[in-house]
Structure 1
Amino acid sequence: MLYSVYELNRMAMTPWRAAANATRKMMRSPMNPMGETMAGRTMAAAAELFESVTRRYAKPEWMIEHTEINGQPVGISEEVIWTKPWCSLLHFQRDKDALIAARGTETADRKVLFVAPMSGHYATLLRGTVEAFLPDSEVYITDWQDARMVPVTDGRFDLDDFTSYIREMMTLLGPDLHVVAVCQPGPPTLAAIALMAEDDDANRPASMTFMGSPIDTRLSPTVPNKLAEEKPFEWFSGNLIHTVPAPNPGAFRRVYPGFLQLAGFMNMNLERHVDAHWNFYTQLVEGDGDSADKHRTFYDEYLAVMDLSEEFYLQTITDVFQEHKLARGEQMHGDRKVDPSAIKDVALLTVEGEKDDISGIGQTQAAHTLCSNLPETLRQDYIQPDVGHYGVFNGRRFREQIAPRMKTFMDEAGGAALKAR
């Protein structure tokens, strides 16, 4: 019922948004003498603010058209190299001729697979992460599907399926691969690699990096961790799971709606978001176009959310946040127990943010305890000062301090792991 009410409200606002758009365009028309007056700018700013806070934000585009290598632009094209109903694997293909011209030679770069979080936002949240690696890496990324768009005939999708998908992708890309799991996918990615190690799978990756991941949420629990433990399972299943209404492609599928996840994110820092939108309004009135553009860029990404399947969301709540199965050595994948201690030759790097309020200090480091048979030469841990959760994988400090450290680790420890096999 809640999802239907949400959709009805969104449709009811459609004519109002159309009127706001018309007002904004009219007030900003160069033919309108009122446009540059204080009254005209105020009306245009109010109209744009209204439209922006009532819109459903579509899945963002990657907007990565080129990278720069040795001062020369190299074109980028998106290529889907593997796909299933719930995910596609994207390769950011660099123009080969431009790449050779920029370097003066043809060289093979490291292969990096970014496992994007399936926790409400789209994979494009890692746009900056991808851009930092494109000059010297072959970059691949998981592009998870919005459950609202997956027909019920395509079946269910749970945490075990997530783990299986990751293993299939790693198998496709081969053993010289460096896997980076950002936030939520840490536990299932570690599980997939543990299963490959136990099977002595020749395609297990050279290195694995976990960034702000909830490997063991008993350590330094944050507000979201405490909520997951304080509320019984029945509260989550009874209050947060709803049915996708028609005419969405995934009509009648039971999901955790993205708009509920977004509401939770917003409420954690509500005052900051209110201030940001008020500042956006004043910037529009004052004609500060650069600052207004930065606001649009951030919120076009932040407010675009996706639904999660019922079974995936609830299994994540129980296995990761309530029962801590991986950390306790009780995680199962189908009828197999997951044993991270089987990992002996996949280099491990953990990265955390000093001010992370989503995954507290120690939660990601727990991977080192679980991978007890890894030699010290194949493991590193790093805590980035002065960054929160988002800053672990994006922003200036990521580009200047974290990404270079990751690349060095991949080349040195990852290379050593491959040689040791």
Structure 2
Amino acid sequence: MLYQFNEFQKLALSPIRTGAQIQSQILRSPFNPFSGTPQAQTLAAVYELFAETTQYHGKPAFGIDQTVIDGKTVAVKEKIVHRKTFGQLKYFERDTKRSDPKVLIVAPMSGHFATLLRGTVETMITDHEVYITDWRDASSVPLTDGVFDLDDYIDYVRDFLDFLGPNTHVMAVCQPGVPVTAAIALMSEDKSPNLPLTLTLMGSPIDARQNPTAPCKLATDHSLDWFERTVIQYVPAVYPGAFRRVYPGFLQLSGFMSMNLDRHVEAHMKQFDHLVQGDGDNADKHRAFYAEYNAVMDLTAEYYLQTIETVFQKQSLAKGEMMYRGTRPVNPGAIEKTALMTVEGELDDISGLGQTAAAHDLCTGLPQSMKAHYEQEGVGHYGVFNGRRFNSEIAPRISKFIRAHEPKPAQQLSLVPKLEAKADVSKKAAAVEKPVPARAVKAKKAKPAAIVVAPKLKATSKKIAEPSKRVKNASAPKKAAAALEPVSAKKTLKSTPAKKKA
């Protein structure tokens, strides 16, 4: 009944909101002799703020049509390159001939649309070929199109990576951390040729036991049956996905708002002041943020409940107990060719410190030179992937990590003299085409690469970064060494030691 009540509320408020907008326009009209008075400005601000807070927001557009590359403005065209029932793959094609690393941003399916990562895309697109997963609102998917659960999410990630092909880099923002890690672990075991070169986990609940936050405690304090009885609703008949069981987006939004209610109240009080004072610039910024923040989508019931159980209640991946399709174990230790970077925010109140970094302890098959961790001071969950600190501090480090693990360009062979015997030519060609074993390269002329080694992470520690130590790693490429140089005493891109295999 909650869903039906929410729909009734939207319909009931619609004429009242329209009336408030009309009253605000009349009070601000230049033809109104009292429009310049403080009383008129205040009353107009009241009407306008009411209209804004009761406005229904549908799926926003990315609206990215240009970017700056090498100091020049270039056009950007948004394309849907791969469609599936519950999601699609979007590509932001840049009008440039420059060849940059290929990045897949896996957006969270946690109540907001992929456009919540608009700022992430805008920042990364300047130096990368960017693709993003664009998930569909479950209320718009007909019931006859089947179900979508956590295992299907894993399949979608694998399918997107197979579509993009080799030499792809993955950024998993928040919720996708667990299913993306599982997908890459399965691909590693299957020796997939389309394994991504790097995986960057950002504010992800890999191990929700570490510094549990309010969402983590809510999940563990109630049974799965309680969630199913309390928050799972049926989509009303007016939508294409009528009668589908879903976790409504408006309930997720209510949860997010209640976690930081004081901040949202303060933000709206400031907006009221902006409207009274006629501060259009700040008022527009507030509207843009909340137009995005209040745009929510429904999740399928099976996906939501399976995520609650697997990620938050059982912590299956962290405990080594996660099963794919109920029969196949998920082993992150099988990941050996995909470099791992984790990013956390000091003030993150959704994925606490240590929850994302825990991935390093699980990926035991990776050497130290392929692991890095970074904690950004002074940012919460949203600041890990959006905003000023992301643009100036986090994104440059991710880009550096990505480029450090890009494949080296093939070396050009010198021309063989014409008078050389055919037998000698064939021998040289065979010697070039035959891959040199990694150990041989290491023993030959490998230059030691300096990397930063981080201490073991503690769940209770507030600071993860501490003065770095230098070690020698002859197998690490020069680019990885350059990427993992210390940046400062407070903000350090660090390599996290992996546990030994049992």
Tell me if TM exceeds 0.5: yes
400-409 or 15-24: bigger deviation: 15-24
Deviations 1:364-418 (A, max 9, x none): 11111111011111111111111111111111111111111101111113547x9
Amino acid at match of 1:16: I
Q: Partners of 2:105 and 2:87 in 1: how far apart?
A: 13
Residue 356 (structure 2) pairs with residue 356 (structure 1):
no
Aligned match of 2:24 = 24
Residue 171 (structure 2) pairs with residue 176 (structure 1):
no
Contact 1:347 1:414 in 2 (8 A): no
Amino acid at match of 1:338: V
Q: Partners of 1:310 and 1:241 in 2: how far apart?
A: 6
Contact 2:101 2:406 in 1 (8 A): no
What SS does the corresponding residue of 1:267 show, helix, strand or coil? helix
What SS does the corresponding residue of 2:405 show, helix, strand or coil? helix
Q: Partners of 1:22 and 1:113 in 2: how far apart?
A: 44
Pairing of 1:193-272 with structure 2 (within 5 A): 193-272=184-263
Q: Partners of 1:72 and 1:324 in 2: how far apart?
A: 47
Residue 351 (structure 2) pairs with residue 373 (structure 1):
no
Residue 397 (structure 2) pairs with residue 392 (structure 1):
no
What SS does the corresponding residue of 2:126 show, helix, strand or coil? helix
Amino acid at match of 1:26: I
What SS does the corresponding residue of 1:15 show, helix, strand or coil? helix
Pairing of 1:22-421 with structure 2 (within 5 A): 22-95=22-95, 99=96, 106-334=97-325, 335-415=327-407
RMSD: 1.5
Contact 1:378 1:414 in 2 (8 A): no
Contact 1:217 1:225 in 2 (8 A): yes
| Change in CA separation of 1:182 and 1:248 when aligned onto 2, cut-off 3 Å | same
Contact 2:92 2:129 in 1 (8 A): yes
Q: Partners of 2:14 and 2:232 in 1: how far apart?
A: 26
Aligned match of 2:485 = none
Q: Partners of 2:257 and 2:364 in 1: how far apart?
A: 38
Deviations 1:280-336 (A, max 9, x none): 112101111111111111111111111111000000000000011111111111131
Q: Partners of 1:351 and 1:292 in 2: how far apart?
A: 32
Q: Partners of 2:98 and 2:270 in 1: how far apart?
A: 48
Deviations 1:130-165 (A, max 9, x none): 111111110000111111111111111100011100
Deviation at 1:275, TM superposition (A): 1.5
Q: Partners of 2:75 and 2:116 in 1: how far apart?
A: 21
Q: Partners of 2:87 and 2:383 in 1: how far apart?
A: 25
Deviation at 1:26, TM superposition (A): 2.3
Q: Partners of 1:375 and 1:71 in 2: how far apart?
A: 37
Q: Partners of 1:11 and 1:211 in 2: how far apart?
A: 38
Q: Partners of 1:61 and 1:25 in 2: how far apart?
A: 27
Amino acid at match of 2:370: L
What SS does the corresponding residue of 1:208 show, helix, strand or coil? strand
Contact 1:368 1:379 in 2 (8 A): yes
Aligned match of 1:8 = 8
Deviations 1:245-276 (A, max 9, x none): 12011111111111111111111111111121
What SS does the corresponding residue of 1:381 show, helix, strand or coil? strand
Aligned match of 1:102 = none
Identity, % of aligned positions: 54
Contact 1:346 1:414 in 2 (8 A): no
Deviations 1:85-137 (A, max 9, x none): 21011000112xxx2xxxxxx33110000000100111111111111111111
Q: Partners of 2:262 and 2:21 in 1: how far apart?
A: 27
Q: Partners of 1:272 and 1:385 in 2: how far apart?
A: 19
Task: Kindly indicate whether structure 1 or structure 2 has the higher relative contact order, using CA contacts under 8 Å at least 6 residues apart.
Answer: 1
What SS does the corresponding residue of 1:121 show, helix, strand or coil? coil
228-237 or 176-185: bigger deviation: 228-237
Aligned match of 2:495 = none
Contact 2:348 2:381 in 1 (8 A): yes
What SS does the corresponding residue of 2:88 show, helix, strand or coil? strand
Which runs of 5 or more residues in structure 2 are unaligned?
411-434, 439-502
Q: Partners of 2:57 and 2:287 in 1: how far apart?
A: 11
Amino acid at match of 2:3: Y
Q: Partners of 1:48 and 1:88 in 2: how far apart?
A: 36
Q: Partners of 1:75 and 1:27 in 2: how far apart?
A: 41
Q: Partners of 1:72 and 1:400 in 2: how far apart?
A: 20
Q: Partners of 1:107 and 1:292 in 2: how far apart?
A: 38
Amino acid at match of 1:81: V
What SS does the corresponding residue of 1:13 show, helix, strand or coil? helix
Q: Partners of 1:93 and 1:54 in 2: how far apart?
A: 36
Residues matched between the structures, number: 411
Amino acid at match of 2:349: D
Structure 1 length-normalised TM: 0.95
Higher percent of residues as helix: 1
| Change in CA separation of 1:11 and 1:238 when aligned onto 2, cut-off 3 Å | same
Q: Partners of 1:262 and 1:22 in 2: how far apart?
A: 28
Runs of 4+ in 1 over 6 A off after TM superposition: 418-421
Amino acid at match of 2:347: K
Q: Partners of 2:106 and 2:357 in 1: how far apart?
A: 18
Which runs of 5 or more residues in structure 1 are unaligned?
100-105
Deviations 1:40-83 (A, max 9, x none): 32232111111111121111111211101222211111100011
